[in-house]
């Protein structure tokens, strides 16, 4: 991910020039200073797409108007743009004067100006890709440019010409905001464990495959000292067998080898199977049994000896060598997998007469048995599919059998001629707050005044909001008047944070303290799991979940508190991006 490059010059307020730039009247320009706010840019390369931004939008969250001027008249109508993150392509090298005018909701305007030097990407060769063994590291070196700012694409805080690398990835670097022409791959190989197993005498016609597979491995096989044409990680053993040697070269780690002697003997191999590969439900335990005619000894790969059965409670590959009449061995392998902890979760519901309801119980390939009380028409009672359509009121049950996992659930469906839509009424809110109008009731479709069709509508400005609701029973119209006012307490939260331990933006919490009580913040991941909960506005989320680092991505936050100045409860929600 390309990091934003902070432009070098100080922030200036050019009142007259900015008035001409934006077309605003001088009376509307108050000339308020922007403090330490600055303009940012993702690239300074010629003919590259540069994404602009500014730290001013961390405080002016809902500007009335934004106007950019890129100082590039040769680009014609593309020289100006609106929005908080516009894009621009500079077709020529040189220095450009960048201007930004931000109109606050109160009507006053803040101006920023800076310069951007656009250059041609530097030609550079990092050399061949680098291979590391597990636990090892390396250093990447970029061309030395005195006084330059280096931005590596790994989101690190390193801004010098040398980067310490400990993880696999494709690396490149921008020098003063313009990327060099080359990239280099760093690949980590898992520390090999080449184990061909013990020596075995197999029964006639028995089959065995030796496995020396490892990450990034390069394979050479020997049989009785002679090279084989095989160069894969696995090798089928062919009678009469002999002494097999696997030689595995692993870039960054070295060369590894192991030996096993596999030969064949009479009698013929009897029928032997541990059963098919097995899919288990969460926390389920099964017993694997090795049964073969004439079995006299057992050797399991989990370390069990002299026992025909083992208890399995973990996913993996399990195999057993069974000795037949003390003369030779047969072998079989079974893979055990566990399903995720997915559940059926149907809820009782109501639909209008003449409508239908689709129930989805899809767990993959398996059998699905639906039951309806009272019964529906015959084609529905015999569906056997993961999806079931409800046309009548009643109680519906599903039994889904996938592998040896069984899932069951029941719901009651009633038919209702009433639409009964409902929505919050007229209200006043603090400026900058997020507010959603939510429609409840037995509604199938929604049509808001701007054409939106969701049950939820985000309100950002004062006005009258209207939604037309409809189902098979009829239509109804709801309205609400929303008024945003200036409040003494306006809780603001950032839209991104990076818990990298550098002391800057490491936690996600309110930016401004308010006079409040009954505060509570909850954060959820994309699966709906709650990853953070706090009733202390001074305590923020550090990006961890259950003792581990939460993955990068978008999370939903919800905040509730009581505004003690206005004597009213407040609810806000939004998204935050966790960046690593």
pLDDT at 224: 96
Contact 213, 194 (CB under 8 A): no
- List the one residue out of 516, 484, 505, 566 whose CA is nearest residue 61: 484
> Distance between CA atoms of 290 and 306, rounded to whole angstroms?
11
CA distance from start to end of the chain:
10
pLDDT at 7: 41
pLDDT at 244: 97
- List the one residue out of 88, 102, 9, 24 whose CA is nearest residue 58: 102
> Distance between CA atoms of 499 and 576, rounded to whole angstroms?
13
pLDDT at 12: 32
Enumerate residues 6+ apart whose C-beta is below 8 A from 333: 274, 317, 318, 319
Q: Is the CATH number of domain 427-485 1.10.3470.10?
A: no
DSSP, residue by residue, 425-457: -SEEEETT--EEEE-BSS-SEEEETTS--SSEE
Domain 496-578 -> CATH class? mainly beta
pLDDT at 379: 64
Q: Is the CATH number of domain 200-268 2.60.40.10?
A: yes
CATH for the 349-415 domain, from 2.60.40, 2.60.120, 3.30.70, 2.40.50? 2.60.40
pLDDT at 504: 67
> Distance between CA atoms of 417 and 435, rounded to whole angstroms?
31
pLDDT at 128: 92
Contact 51, 87 (CB under 8 A): yes
Q: Kindly list the distances between the CA atom of residue 204 and the CA atoms of 93, 197, 243, 465, in Å, as whole numbers in the listed order.
A: 76, 20, 17, 82
> Distance between CA atoms of 281 and 325, rounded to whole angstroms?
37
> Distance between CA atoms of 410 and 201, rounded to whole angstroms?
55
pLDDT at 496: 79
Helix or strand holding residue 469 (H, E):
strand 463-471
Contact 554, 579 (CB under 8 A): no
> Distance between CA atoms of 174 and 488, rounded to whole angstroms?
44
Written as tens digits, the pLDDT of the chain (580 aa) is 233 343 433 333 333 333 333 333 222 232 333 457 899 988 899 999 899 999 888 888 778 889 999 999 999 999 999 888 899 999 999 999 999 999 987 678 899 999 999 999 999 999 999 999 988 999 999 999 998 989 898 867 788 999 999 888 889 999 988 989 899 999 988 889 999 999 999 999 999 999 999 988 999 999 999 999 999 999 999 999 999 999 999 999 999 999 999 999 988 999 999 999 887 877 788 999 999 999 999 999 888 788 999 999 988 999 999 999 999 999 999 999 887 666 777 888 777 776 778 888 877 777 888 888 888 876 666 567 888 888 888 999 998 887 777 888 999 888 776 777 888 777 776 666 667 888 887 777 889 988 888 888 888 888 888 999 887 677 888 888 887 766 656 667 778 788 877 766 788 888 655 677 888 899 988 877 889 999 888 888 999 988 889 988 889 888 888 877 667 777 788 888 888 7
CATH for the 5-118 domain, from 2.40.30.10, 2.60.40.10, 1.20.1080.10, 3.40.50.10190? 2.60.40.10
């Amino acid at each position: 991910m390309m990091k934003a490059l902070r432009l070098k010059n100080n922030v200036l307020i050019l009142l007259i020039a900015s008035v001409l730039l934006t077309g605003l009247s001088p009376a509307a320009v108050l000339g308020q200073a922007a403090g330490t706010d600055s303009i940012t840019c993702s690239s300074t390369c010629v003919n590259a797409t540069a994404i602009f931004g500014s730290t001013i939008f961390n405080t002016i969250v809902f500007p009335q108007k934004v106007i950019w001027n890129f100082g590039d008249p040769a680009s014609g109508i593309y020289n100006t743009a609106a929005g908080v993150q516009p894009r621009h392509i500079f077709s020529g090298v040189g220095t450009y004067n960048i201007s930004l005018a931000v109109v606050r909701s109160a009507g006053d305007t803040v101006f920023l100006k800076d310069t951007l030097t656009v250059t041609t990407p530097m030609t550079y060769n990092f050399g061949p890709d680098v291979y590391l063994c597990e636990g090892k590291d390396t250093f990447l070196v970029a061309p030395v440019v005195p006084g330059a700012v280096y931005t590596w694409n790994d989101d690190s805080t390193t801004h010098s010409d040398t980067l310490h690398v400990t993880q696999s990835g494709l690396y490149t670097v921008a020098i003063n905001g313009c990327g060099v022409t080359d990239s280099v791959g760093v690949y980590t190989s898992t520390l090999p464990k080449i184990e061909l197993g013990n020596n075995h005498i197999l029964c006639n016609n028995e089959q065995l495959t030796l496995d020396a597979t490892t990450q990034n491995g390069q394979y050479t096989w020997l049989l009785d000292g002679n090279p084989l044409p095989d160069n894969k990680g696995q090798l089928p053993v062919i009678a009469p067998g002999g002494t097999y040697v696997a030689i595995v070269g692993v870039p960054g780690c070295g060369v590894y080898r192991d030996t096993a002697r596999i030969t064949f003997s009479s009698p013929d191999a009897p029928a032997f199977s541990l059963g098919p590969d097995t899919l288990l439900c969460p926390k389920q335990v099964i017993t694997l049994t090795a049964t073969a005619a004439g079995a006299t000894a057992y050797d399991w790969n989990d370390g069990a000896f002299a026992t025909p059965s083992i208890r399995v409670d973990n996913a993996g590959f399990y195999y057993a060598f069974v000795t037949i009449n003390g003369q030779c061995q047969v072998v079989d392998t079974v893979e055990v997998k566990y399903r995720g902890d997915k559940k059926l979760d149907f809820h009782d519901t109501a639909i209008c007469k003449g409508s239908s309801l689709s129930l989805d119980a899809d767990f993959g390939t398996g059998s699905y048995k639906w039951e309806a009380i009272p019964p529906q028409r015959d084609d529905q009672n015999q569906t056997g599919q993961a999806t079931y359509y409800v046309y009548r009121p009643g109680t519906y049950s599903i039994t889904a059998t996938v592998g040896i996992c069984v899932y069951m659930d029941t719901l009651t469906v009633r038919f209702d001629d009433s639409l009964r839509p409902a929505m919050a009424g007229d209200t006043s809110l603090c400026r900058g707050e997020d507010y959603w109008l939510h429609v409840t009731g037995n509604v199938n479709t929604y049509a808001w005044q701007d054409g939106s069709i969701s049950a939820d509508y985000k309100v950002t400005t004062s006005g009258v909001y209207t939604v037309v609701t409809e189902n098979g029973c009829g239509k109804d119209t709801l309205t609400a008047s929303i008024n945003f006012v200036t409040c003494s307490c306006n809780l603001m939260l950032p839209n991104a944070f990076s818990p990298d331990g550098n002391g800057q933006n490491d936690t996600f919490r309110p930016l401004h303290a308010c006079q409040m009580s009954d505060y509570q913040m909850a954060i959820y991941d994309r699966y709906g799991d709650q990853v953070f909960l706090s009733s202390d506005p001074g305590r923020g989320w550090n990006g961890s979940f259950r003792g581990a680092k939460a993955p990068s991505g978008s999370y939903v936050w919800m905040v509730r508190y009581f505004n003690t100045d206005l004597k009213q409860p407040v609810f806000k929600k939004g998204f935050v991006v966790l960046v690593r």
